[in-house]
Amino acid sequence: MELFEHTAAQLSDMLAKKECSSEELTASVFDRIHSIEPEIGAYITLCEDLALKQAKDVDARRISGEELAPLAGIPIGVKDNICTKDILTTCASKMLYNFVPPYDATVIQKLRAQGVVISGKLNMDEFAMGSSCETSYFKKTRNPYNTAYVPGGSSGGSAAAVAAGEAVLSLGSDTGGSIRLPSSYCGVIGLKPTYGSVSRFGLVAFASSLDQIGPIGRSVSDVAMLYQAIYGYDPHDATSVAAKHESTTFHAGNNIKGKIIGIPKEYFMSGISTEVHDLVMKAAKVFEENGAILKEVSLPSTDYALSAYYIISSAEASSNLARFDGVKYGYRAEKFDNLIDMYERTRSQGFGDEVKRRILLGTFVLSSGYYDAYYKRAKLLQKQILQEFNDIFASCDLLLTPTGTDTAFRIGEKMGDPLKMYQNDICTVTVNIAGLPAISVPCGMAASNGMPVGMQLIAPKFEEQRLFDAAGCYEANIGNLCQIPMDIKKEVIS
């Protein structure tokens, strides 16, 4: 078994016992990257020299007897909308094709302080807007289970890299499902933490009231370890919540005896493929066999969640993306007549189609005369959705739903139809709207196309450990949930 194939939890142990060095591990991950990256295209920027230097430094510290953090010396990939000092951060957009942040995001500061090795920056949908990783300005990332399929989005590079063994762990960001959906499509585990539990300082803003950074890994322990490394209050983020679980040690639990798992019926109705439905219900049986109590529940506002999501996220995006004007950083149009012309040409040439569509939609819902009819209504619905979740969590410990309505789809299949693309997020957006934590866990392969299927577990705010307990219990029953596909299926794309 090559070093890159191990989980972070195994590697942490091996590094501590000096059974391998971080330099050897980092070299193994880069060997894997060089052999497979032409097929997958997960990275926008590779940091091989820097990573090997970081690895050697950690090894030297370990040899000197220094006590190191559990993730010290382990290579992690970072989504390209998280600022990394002196490393390109493009948001997969022409608009930021040359942007080199002068500072680190808080999560990166934390990881660097813990001796984590950064392997590079990962591909995504442009400004995190998309569900397939196809709106990137630079490249299309392919699904490691079959390269004719999308990896999901927007954190498609983050999920594909971990699934293919091109990173031990990765960071993604999730505004409407952008960590969970690609994790489901690529057969890995992805956590969207409680809103406010991980600092957003240095995350390029898309929809600030919904965005959240989170970990992706190949075991429940790995995801818990990376969450442990990045969570916590940060005065640089006004929405960061102070110390709700400051002294907790997150870990993959295994006991869910007596826990009540709600099955919201709205998530299992029309629109969900039979294969997905059956595999998620099969996983529910595993929980039941381990002593959990299943209970059918109802979240009546689910049907409206997608509409509320697109209003709120587009409104915030149109406001957040107003800063990209060609003045202070990033792309500037080559030719223009005056200042306004420079703004317009820069933005028209710098943003892709999907980003423009959302800016226009956001501008519309915030414009005079329409604010009350759209934005305010969506915000009121947001309150109602949160209330429905609160009511249900009074009698349930967790909720179980599918992550996506179906498996990954073929590259190009949904690009011409934005509405069809938006429907992919139907099971995930409510969690962002309510600010809750949720995890996507692989629960089998679809017989029809051999692609992975994910289930989603949802917990009340700041109850991430409940997710790790349930996911850990499932993992203990099933065994290894995320096997790196060594023989990657390549289909000719017609």
Partner 1 sequence: MKIDVKRLAKLAHLQISAEQEKVYAAQMQDILEMVEKLPQLESKESLVDPNNPMTLRKDIPENSYKRDVILQNAPQTQAGCIVVPKVMD
Smaller CB distance to partner 1: residue 420 or 490?
Answer: 420
Contacts with partner 1 in 246-285 (CB under 8 A)?
none
Return the structure tokens found at 97: 């094709």
**Local structure of residue 269 (DSSP, 8 states):** S
Residue 36, SS3 per DSSP: helix
Residue 230, SS3 per DSSP: helix
Among 287, 422, 468, 474, binds partner 1 (CB under 8 A): 422
Contacts with partner 1 in 71-130 (CB under 8 A)?
98-100, 102-103
**CA 431/CA 211 separation, integer angstroms:** 11
Residue 160's nearest CA partner among 400, 355, 451 is 451
> Measured from the CB of residue 387, what is the shortest distance to partner 1 in angstroms?
11
Q: Which of 136, 170, 178, 219 is catalytic?
A: 178
Question: What phi, psi does 214 have (nearest 5°)?
Answer: -155, 170
Contacts with partner 1 in 297-326 (CB under 8 A)?
303-304, 306-308, 310-311, 318, 322, 325-326
Smaller CB distance to partner 1: residue 217 or 352?
Answer: 352
Among 260, 294, 418, 489, binds partner 1 (CB under 8 A): 418
**CA 315/CA 360 separation, integer angstroms:** 9
Return the structure tokens found at 163: 């699934």
139 flagged as catalytic? no
39 interacts with partner 1 by CB under 8 A: no
415 interacts with partner 1 by CB under 8 A: no
Smaller CB distance to partner 1: residue 70 or 232?
Answer: 232
371 interacts with partner 1 by CB under 8 A: no
Among 20, 52, 286, 342, binds partner 1 (CB under 8 A): 342
> Measured from the CB of residue 325, what is the shortest distance to partner 1 in angstroms?
7
Binding track, positions 215-244, relative to partner 1; x by CB under 8 A: --------------------xx-xx-x---
Looking from the CA of 91 toward its CB, the CA atoms found within 13 Å total 25
Smaller CB distance to partner 1: residue 16 or 342?
Answer: 342
154 flagged as catalytic? yes
**CA 184/CA 152 separation, integer angstroms:** 8
Return the structure tokens found at 324: 């990209």
Please report the DSSP string for 331-384 in residue order.
Answer: ---S--SSHHHHHHHHHHHHS-HHHHHHHHHHHHHHSTTTTIIIIIHHHHHHHH
CA distances from 185 to 82, 138, 424, 444, 449 (A): 22, 21, 11, 11, 12
Q: Which of 28, 79, 131, 170 is catalytic?
A: 79
Residues assigned a catalytic role: 79, 154, 178
The residue ranges that bind partner 1 (CB under 8 A) are: 98-100, 102-103, 196, 235-236, 238-239, 241, 303-304, 306-308, 310-311, 318, 322, 325-332, 336, 338-345, 347-348, 351, 356-357, 359-361, 363-365, 367, 374, 376-381, 383-384, 418-419, 422
